[in-house]
Amino acid sequence: MADKEPRRPFRGDLSRDEQLGTLPGDTRPEEVPELTECAAKVLARSADGDLFFVGRYPDRLHDLLSGVLADTPHLSRLHRLPLSLHGTGGRDLTPDERVQLRADLTASGITPAGMAARERPLVLVDLVHDGTTFGHLHRELRAWIDEERVAWNVIRRGLRYLGITVRRHTGPHTRRWQQHAEWTRELPASSVGNVSVPGPLWRYLGDCQGTIEPPFRRARRADPCAAAPRHDDRPREALGEAPSLRDHGLTRGARAQVHRALTAEPAFRDPWLRTLAHTLRSSGGSR
């Protein structure tokens, strides 16, 4: 089957104002403090890896962290993985869909050989309800790795899944999505983790945030128009919100909050996280 061109939905570069045009002013959501706390925990639980934000739901985390990490070496660790596997149900991808998915993953620097050669963990971050997207994506990656005959035992040590979940009361009867997903047993226990957030923040990310690009689900991935920019009011509002969050991440207040959250995490004992926290504290911020 012929190689396919990757299809990535349009999203302007938030660091280049000329790509954004005339946008609304400061449109930061009221959930900014909780979002900042969540972003800090995502950083702390990344195991010093490269963060790939899956689909549209974690966009605001990416936007905020692009400001927090703007003048640090960790900025290069942030990546968007614009795909969605919703709508697959229990059905396998068609051969054509699988080729397209692999082209899109390759465009994001994710291939079996590349995963095996990585020096840092590859951390996939997504908003999680029952882990369906992670499950589909993991099965597709495993099939690809097996076809390419790349050593899974090498890859599994550097592949991580980090879910953003609704905060619930903890206890012996609390249901956690990864405990009921058989595919997670292929990975070390430490490779599947969560950041729990208040219900209003989870609903904001999953239902209420403005989105720049349209849904990039299975039914749209073969549509060449799916990657074109949108021109209605919805993405314009989102393009105002996104740089507002990036700018907030540049401030001393945001970086101070991230620093406090990092120091409270168990991973703060690791040298890489202490170094990052020190960098954020000494960077000052824009205001």
Mean pLDDT per 10-residue interval, the chain, length 287 residues: 59 51 59 95 98 93 96 94 71 86 94 97 95 93 97 97 90 76 94 95 84 56 53 57 91 95 97 96 77
The pTM for the full model equals 0.85
Alpha-helical segments (H) within 118-204: 132-148, 152-155, 199-203
- Dihedral sign, CA of 99, 101, 102, 107? positive
Query: Quick one: pLDDT at residue 274?
Result: 97
Q: For 276, which DSSP code?
A: H
Instruction: Label residues 159-174 b or e (16+ Cβ within 10 Å = b).
Output: bbbbbbbbeeeeeeee
First to last CA, the chain: 54
Q: How far apart are CA 74 and CA 78, in angstroms?
A: 8
C-alpha–C-alpha distance, residues 167 and 275, integer Å? 29
Beta strands in 181-235 (DSSP E): 192-197
Can you give the pLDDT at residue 10?
Answer: 45
Helix axes 252-263, 233-249, angle to 10 degrees: 70
Cα separation, 285 vs 127, whole angstroms: 28
Give me the pLDDT at residue 44, please. 98
DSSP 92: P
Query: What's the pLDDT at 12?
Result: 52
